[in-house]
Each structure stands twice: as C-alpha cells, then as structure tokens.
C-alpha cells in the first residue's frame, strides 16, 4: 500500500515534492491557504534561478545552487528563460570582498563565467564584473503547470490550523497521513534550524529601453533583475528590502499589515539612492511601477547560508527551503529518510571472505 503524505504549502518546494511523490506512487494531498499555487514567497520574490554567484560567503549554498540549476532546466525546461545580459558586479568601496577574490571563489566552485569589461555604459565605481548564465523564472507558466499537474491533489484556500504526529502516524486538520511535509518555510516547524521571519518589500519598475540585470556583490548591496515580462524589473536591497526580523510568523505578518504608502515611498527613495551609486542610468531608464509585500524565512548567521535543510521529527519532515533550484535536494533527502526507516535492519553475519579465496597448493 502506498504511503499517504500531507504537504503544507504549494510553493516551489511543496509543488515539486508533490509532483515527484505522485510519480513514485505516493498518495499526496497539498494544503494551501491561498487560492492559487506559488502565491507567497515563491511567487513574490526576485525571479532569479540561481547558479551560486550571489553567495560568495557560503560554499554549501553555491554547490547546491550550481547542481540544482542544471537539474532544474532539465526537469522544467519551459519554466525559466535566459537573461540576455546578466551582470554580477563588485563595487570598489562597498563590497565585503575584492573582485579577484570573488572570481577565485566562483572559479573554485566550478561555476562558469566570463569577465565583463564594457562597464562604461551601465556601471560606475566598480572593481570588476562578470557575465553569468543565471536565468529568469517564468512564474505564470509555473503556476499553470503545477495547477494542472496537481489539480486532483490541491486543497486551495484551506488553512492548516493544527497538525499532530508521533512515531506511527500524523494528521493535518484531523485528516490522517503516514507523513507530513512542512513546506511552508518554517511556519509550522523549524526542525533544528535557527531561523527568523523577514517581511519584505520588493519594488517593480518598467524599463524604457533594453537594460541588463545587475547584481552588486558581496554584502549589504542591491540588485535590479528582470521578470517574465522583459520590460518589468524588480529592485531589491539587502539593507532596505527587509521590514524587520521576527522570531514568530504572526509578528512578521503583523508588520506586513502595517505597511503604508509613506513607508513604501521612504523605502523607494533609499533603494533608488543605493542603486544609483553603481548604476547611474537607473533613474533615466526605469520608471516606478509598484511594490509587492512578501515574507522570507532565513537562517541566522553572517555566512549568508541559503542551503536547503531537511529535518525529520517522527512522522514530520521540516523543509528549510534554500533557493528554488534546490528542490531536488529536499526530495532526495525525504525519500532517503523514508527508505531508511522502512528498510530491513542490518543483520550481523560471519566473515566468509576466506571461503571465496582460491588458495594455491604448494609442494612441501
């Protein structure tokens, strides 16, 4: 009899996990409080499919992103697209590392890039820059794909109010399952991860001309990145996009509810001033189009760890989501844990190696 699995959250992780488990014969139910898939952090974020360039300070994140990127475009070839000019630039005075160190880190991680020397048109006060093959996510396509793929197992608009689990079974809203997967980015369980909730404000701009993606690294810097609409870009800032950090999700959601137009205008001014330091044409090419609120869950620490972690507590799997292309890591960890739990235990046996060796006969 197949295992029955309840998944909380229909973001990238919840949808991919559900799709993979269905293919393997599991009975799956996906609980999502919103009325469509990818309607929280998974769809309200910069539309970047990472290769690892954003994480010079964390080896594990780079490795997971590098490997997951290739698997993502193989598994979901239509859910991302190339970015014509995708620049990562190291500011001369603002970055935590110099350009040569940045290049060494990326090269040693096995991530391909080419140096970008045409800085005059777009960049200012830059120590150096590289061109990358990172892609843009096609969120509308992804929503359509997963809505069709999971149409028989999705419970949209159904809020999860209670979960329970022990060593033998589990339940979501009173419905019994063999396992629960919390893919809500830690809203119901954090596992062993030391995390906080970060409400965010992402700004959208319309480009009046062809513009590159520009990501400034490494440290409390900003980036301008395209969306699935090639004329609409997002502006994000490590310093100004967050609206605080909170230990519990309710307090973080309350902070989002209190955002005013005055705060949006204040944040917009700060973020535009920051990007203009290194992208002086930003004000000429981009026109403000609007703002978007969302929520992230992050690991504490200064190493910028955005790796994916999976923790099991009895019949509950807690997924601390990494980047979108590390969904494969989460799937493999969960399957490995389930397999180990239901495999036959090791039985001590006698060492019979000598019986398999043909001993030569020697004349005495």
Q: How many domains does the chain have?
A: 2
Q: Are residues 187 and 199 in the same domain?
A: no
Work out the angle at residue 262's Cα, subtended by the Cα atoms of residues 259 and 263, and round it to the nearest 5 degrees: 50
Provide the whole-model pTM.
Answer: 0.92
The mean-pLDDT minimum among 192-196, 304-308, 339-343, 356-360 falls in: 356-360
Provide the terminal-to-terminal Cα distance of the chain, rounded to the nearest Å.
63
Q: Are residues 148 and 283 in the same domain?
A: no
Domain CATH code at residue 26? 3.50.50.60
149-193 tens-digit pLDDT: 999 999 999 999 999 999 889 999 999 999 999 999 888 886 667
208-253 tens-digit pLDDT: 889 999 999 999 999 999 999 999 999 999 999 999 999 999 999 9
Q: Are residues 281 and 314 in the same domain?
A: no
User: Contact, 196 vs 243, CB < 8 A?
Assistant: no
Q: Are residues 121 and 217 in the same domain?
A: yes
Reading phi first (left if > 0) and then psi (alpha if -120 to 50, else beta), residue 38 is in left
Query: What count of other Cβ atoms lies within 10 Å of the Cβ of residue 340?
Result: 9
Mean pLDDT (whole number) for 266-280: 98
Tell me, yes or no, whether 101 lies in a domain.
yes
Tell me, yes or no, whether 350 lies in a domain.
no
In the chain, the largest separation of any two C-alpha atoms, in whole Å, equals 100
**Distance from CA of residue 197 to its chain's centroid?**
15
Name the band, by pLDDT with cuts 50, 70 and 90, for residue 355. confident
User: Contact, 43 vs 292, CB < 8 A?
Assistant: no
Tell me, yes or no, whether 255 lies in a domain.
yes
Report the C-alpha gap between 339 and 363 in whole angstroms.
Answer: 53
Name the band, by pLDDT with cuts 50, 70 and 90, for residue 319. very high
Q: Are residues 73 and 214 in the same domain?
A: no
Tell me, yes or no, whether 364 lies in a domain.
no
Tell me, yes or no, whether 264 lies in a domain.
yes
Name the 3-class secondary structure at 237: strand
Instruction: List helix spans (H) across the chain.
Output: 12-23, 59-75, 99-108, 139-149, 249-257, 261-276, 282-285, 327-342
Q: Mark which of 299, 314, 334 sits at the end of a domain.
A: 299
Tell me, yes or no, whether 356 lies in a domain.
no
Instruction: List the beta strands (DSSP E) in the chain.
Output: 4-8, 27-32, 48-49, 80-82, 86-91, 114-115, 126-131, 135-137, 154-156, 163-165, 170-172, 175-177, 179-182, 195-207, 213-216, 222-226, 232-237, 286-299, 309-313, 316-320
Question: Which strands make up the sheet holding 170-172, listed edge to edge?
Answer: 163-165, 170-172, 175-177
Q: Are residues 24 and 110 in the same domain?
A: no
Q: Are residues 159 and 218 in the same domain?
A: no
Phi then psi for residue 168, to 5 deg, are -115, -30
Residue 31, both tokens: 């609980």
Domain CATH code at residue 246? 3.30.9.10
What local confidence, expressed as pLDDT, does residue 361 receive?
Answer: 65
User: Contact, 83 vs 208, CB < 8 A?
Assistant: no
Tell me, yes or no, whether 88 lies in a domain.
yes
Q: Are residues 94 and 128 in the same domain?
A: yes
Mean pLDDT (whole number) for 304-323: 89
Q: Are residues 127 and 187 in the same domain?
A: no
Q: Are residues 183 and 313 in the same domain?
A: yes
Q: Which of 64, 87, 323, 354 is nearest to 185 (CA)?
A: 323
Mean pLDDT (whole number) for 337-347: 86
- The residue segments making up the domain with residue 112 are 84-133+195-299
Query: What count of other Cβ atoms lies within 10 Å of the Cβ of residue 311?
Result: 17
Q: Which of 319, 342, 340 is nearest to 331 (CA)?
A: 319
Please, what is the average pLDDT of the chain? Answer: 93
Q: Are residues 240 and 157 in the same domain?
A: no
Tell me, yes or no, whether 241 lies in a domain.
yes
From residue 346, alpha-carbon distances to 58, 168, 310, 334, 349 in Å are 37, 21, 25, 21, 9
pLDDT exceeds cutoff 90 at 136: yes
Query: What count of other Cβ atoms lies within 10 Å of the Cβ of residue 303?
Result: 14
Q: Which of 330, 336, 119 is nearest to 214 (CA)?
A: 119
Q: Are residues 223 and 329 in the same domain?
A: no
Task: Give pairs for 170-175: CB < 8 Å, separation 24+.
Answer: 170/6, 170/314, 170/315, 170/316, 171/6, 172/6, 172/8, 172/29, 172/31, 173/31, 175/6, 175/29
């Amino acid at each position: 009899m197949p295992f029955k699995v309840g998944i909380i959250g229909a973001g990238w992780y919840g949808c991919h996990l559900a799709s993979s488990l269905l293919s393997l014969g599991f009975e799956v139910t996906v609980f999502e409080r919103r009325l469509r898939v990818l309607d929280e952090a998974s769809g309200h974020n910069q539309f970047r499919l990472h290769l690892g360039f954003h994480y010079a300070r964390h080896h594990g994140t780079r490795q997971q992103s590098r490997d997951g990127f290739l698997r993502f475009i193989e598994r979901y070839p239509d859910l991302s697209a190339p970015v014509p000019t995708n620049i990562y630039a190291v500011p001369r005075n603002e970055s935590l590392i110099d350009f040569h160190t940045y290049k060494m880190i990326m090269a040693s991680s096995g991530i391909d890039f080419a140096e970008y020397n045409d800085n005059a048109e777009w960049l200012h006060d830059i120590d150096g820059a590289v061109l990358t093959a990172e892609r843009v996510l096609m969120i509308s396509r992804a929503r359509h794909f997963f809505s069709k793929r999971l149409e028989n197992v999705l419970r949209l608009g159904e809020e999860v109010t209670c979960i329970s689990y022990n060593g033998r079974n589990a339940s979501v809203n009173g419905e019994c399952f063999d396992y629960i997967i919390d893919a809500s980015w830690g809203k119901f369980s954090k596992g062993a991860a030391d995390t906080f909730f970060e409400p965010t404000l992402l700004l959208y701009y319309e480009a009046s001309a062809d513009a590159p993606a520009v990501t400034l690294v490494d440290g409390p810097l900003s980036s301008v990145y395209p969306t699935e609409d090639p004329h609409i870009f997002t502006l994000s800032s490590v310093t100004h996009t967050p609206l605080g950090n909170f230990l519990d999700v309710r307090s973080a959601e309350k902070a989002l509810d209190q955002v005013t137009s005055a705060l949006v205008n204040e944040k917009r001014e700060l973020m535009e001033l920051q990007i203009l330091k290194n992208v002086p044409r930003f004000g000429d090419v981009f026109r403000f189009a609007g703002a978007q609120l969302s929520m992230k869950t992050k690991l504490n620490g200064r190493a910028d760890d955005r790796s994916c972690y999976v923790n099991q507590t009895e019949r509950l799997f807690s997924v601390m989501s990494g980047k979108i292309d590390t969904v494969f890591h989460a799937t493999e960890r969960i399957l490995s844990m389930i397999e180990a739990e239901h495999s036959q235990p090791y039985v001590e046996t006698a060492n019979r190696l000598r019986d398999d060796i043909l001993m030569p006969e020697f004349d005495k």
